[in-house]
A and B are shown apart, each in its own frame.
Chain A
Amino acid sequence: MSIDLSQFHQVFFEESFDGLEVMEQNLLGLTPESSDPEVINTIFRAAHSIKGGSATFHFTSVAEFTHILETLLDEMRNGERAVTTPMVDLLLQSVDCLRNMLSKLQDDQLVEHADYAELEAALKKAIDNDGDHESVNQQASDLTSKEAPSTAGLESDASAQHSEDSAWLITFIPEPQILQTGNEPIRMFRELNLLGEIKVVSQILKLPTLAEMDETLCYSQWMIGLFAEVDESAIREVFEWVDDECELKLEALTEEQVNARLSGEAFTEEALSEPERANAPSPIDEKIVDKNAKASVQSTSASPSKPQSNSNTDLQVRDKSEVKDPNQANKSAPVATGGSSIRVSIDKVDSLINLVGELVITQSMLGQMGEDFNITKLERLKEGLIQLEQNTRELQESVMQIRMLPISFVFNRFPRMIRDLSSRLNKKVELEIFGENTELDKTVMEQIGDPLVHLVRNSLDHGIETPDKRAAAGKSETGKVQLNAFHQGGNIVIEIIDDGAGINRERVLNKAIERGLVSEQQELSDEDVYQLVFEPGFSTAESISDVSGRGVGMDVVKKNIQSLGGSVEVRSEPGLGSTFTIRLPLTLAILDGQLIRVGNQIYVVPLTSIVESLQIKTHEVVSITGSFDVYKLRDDHVPILRLYETFEVKPDFTDYNDTVLVVVEVGGKKVGFMVDELLAQQQVVIKSLETNFISIEGISGATILGDGKVALILDILGMLNRLNKQKSSSKGIAA
């Protein structure tokens, strides 16, 4: 039988990454002053698990490397080795290295020795420096050379004669308690039988009286003739487990000699008759052997047991190696284990099951009502429908919950990062985390990780000052970075707060003017100026540290956040610090929408983007360069997009007096949509157009309305771009 182990690879990778997390978190808390043995034990176990798994699934480089870690950790948990900061650092680096190696393997890439050679050398050095330990190399080679259970120490008897009729005489005298470890002699006889034909003769020399007899003890001993040409080691292997609870004597003789010895042995009255040349170990008197032993003993005596299940061939002389069938060459193709997975708490699943149950009840109730419906049942029908709406809503919330994971998964990497970074920058930084249990959608979380890292790096690099500067400014030498997460409305809010130097408004503004991003005359609020740091290629760092400051990061951060449907705001106080606030929708799949109608087409506008919807008068609209119109909404000049033109639809009305203006905003810019009618507000499920078609600018997807019809969902940013193109092309014409 060949089992394809690759089906377990994905689970192994996932649990190994978890294990590495555990190691890292615990290592971070490990200092020479506070080294809780339980903590070290936890770290050890994690490494041990990874080693075991990686060896089992044939990831030898990981196994080798982890083995060294395990050795170190074992010494630490035994108290043989002290916990030192350099050691912890080395271990932390090893965790990184392992993560890297496992990632490569997960992506089907090869791991080279160079990937871990340096750390391996450093670790080995650390171990060998303490002289009196078994060299690591020795242990490592033990690992890789392991295949079958090794044999116990050999006591060689007279060398075996390798002639045709060579045989072995085995004297097996077990200690009385042997049965209590679950080691039945029968098992060993069966195993011997795999090596060749056997004849078993039992001896009862020390049987106590019936009254004194303890049924849990074994009072027998045996002589076994093994008629096969095998190595002594093969025989000893059979008895490996009971090595320390028996007396074992092996004599290499000829068949004749063995037979002679066996028949010459003293028997007691209850002894057996001459064992037949059967395929099985001969029947053993039940009275002698412990009655409480498992049924297999009795079944053996009842009838000659069948040959071993994997033996179709002649039992006469068989090599032990047949038992371990070499894996056949034709393996089936490995099962594809692509796709990520989620761990869901059983409570969430249970609640889901309950809600589905309620839904089924409601459905059956409505179904029954529909059987022979008449108008008198109308009230009940309405109630039933309300019930249905409630069930579906609860079910929807519950299902979305499943994709929600606590943000701690992302926050967890920061203690390590800050520790490494602050030492690299020679700054003292303390990290505080709040709201790590705040949940958000798994996909959103996967994508917010990098932007967050960049923002935190930015705080450390540009925000927090060096200890001297801080002291000079009257602040504590240790700077503080705070990560804060909480729910607000339908969003999750993540704040990165530092108590550093704040953003230098002047410098940012000057740089922006220099780059032509803004003009000198423009009136900009503080917030506007700070937002400029998100412009591409923008960096005011005086010297570009390799951490950040290359100017490629912040604009990508903002773009990533926006592509998730979120936004980022900046607040800052010179000398006191800065706060970056990220807002993200809780889920990507559902949208609160405002339905609008243009002609006979219905569109959905994201509710969060709507500033105001109002009826306007034609005389309130101003025409710019004769080709597009602008409406003055308080202090803003809002350009108007005639949706019927944009979408080539026949509208009901083309006059401003008769239509509704829906003013939307994204990224600080406003635009007004001219529509025929405002319809209902409802939650819609976003369906991608790209699944079966292509993406269209200005359309973020489609949804299915209650009546089964499809409505398009507008993407405000895209619509703005189309408006700008319209503007610029018309400018071109006018010019």
Chain B
Amino acid sequence: MTKILAVDDSSSMRQMVSFTLKSAGYDVDDAADGQQALKLAQGKQYDVVISDVNMPVMDGITLVKNLRQLPAYKFTPILMLTTESAGDKKSEGKQAGATGWIVKPFNPDQLVATVQKVLG
């Protein structure tokens, strides 16, 4: 089963993302900050990582950079959840190595569609 890692410091967002993707048939783990996520990613191979940008302890951009350093995650699709409509956060994410982004607010269907896009 496809494994997804969802990272967001907001509990309600984590729940929503988790529930939505599980309902779509995926296996989902979640973390509340980048550091937790990194630890989880090292213990288990995820097929997709979805992460918020603004988080305590380790933010999303740093998480992406760190994930790309791990051999197992060199090519894994990593999607950033961003509310910034301005371009700089998006390009910062890309520069760090993110695959793409999903703009908040998004509805559950958009989330699933985007995940399906990268997974195929």
Contacts and interface: CB of A to CB of B under 8 A. Distances in A.
Interface of A: 1-3, 5, 7-9, 11-12, 14-15, 42, 44-45, 48-49, 51-53, 55-58, 63, 139, 142-143, 146, 148-150, 179-184, 186-187, 190-191, 216, 240-241, 244-245, 292-294, 296, 300, 305, 308-310, 323-325, 327
Interface of B: 9-13, 15-16, 19-20, 23-24, 47, 52, 54-56, 68, 74-78, 81, 83, 85, 91, 94, 97-110, 112-113, 116-120
A148 B110 contact: yes
Contacts of B106: 56
A53 B12 contact: yes
A55 B104 contact: yes
B74 A244 contact: no
A335 B3 CA distance: 28
Given A56-B16, A149-B102, A191 B117 contact: yes
A5 B16 contact: yes
Given A52-B13, A293-B75, A305-B120, A181 B99 contact: yes
Nearest to B24: A1
A33 B98 CA distance: 39
A190 B117 contact: yes
Contacts of B52: 52
A53 B112 contact: no
B19 A3 contact: yes
A182 B54 contact: no
Contact of B118 (A182, A292, A293): A182
B97 to A, nearest CB: 5
Most chain-B Cβ atoms within 10 A of its Cβ — which of A5, A48, A63? A48
B9 A45 contact: yes
Most-contacted residue by chain B among A11, A190, A241, A327 (CB, 10 A): A241
B111 to A, nearest CB: 9
Contact of B100 (A12, A45, A55, A241): A241
A48 B85 contact: no
Contacts of A48: 54, 83
B105 A11 contact: no
A139 B84 CA distance: 9
Given A45-B54, A183-B99, 6 more contacts: A3-B23, A5-B107, A56-B106, A181-B78, A187-B117, A294-B47
Contacts of B116: 308-310
A283 to B, nearest CB: 15
B74 A1 contact: no
A182 B76 contact: yes
B3 to A, nearest CB: 13
B85 A53 contact: no
Contacts of B91: 244
B108 A143 contact: no
A165 to B, nearest CB: 28
B74 A15 contact: no
A136 to B, nearest CB: 13
Nearest to B98: A181
Given A56-B106, A181-B97, A15 B75 contact: no
Contacts of A324: 109-110, 113
B97 A180 contact: yes
Nearest to B85: A142
Contacts of A42: 56
Contacts of B107: 5, 56, 327
Given A48-B83, A149-B103, A308-B116, A8 B12 contact: yes
A329 to B, nearest CB: 15
A52 B100 contact: no
Given A45-B54, A56-B13, A182 B75 contact: yes
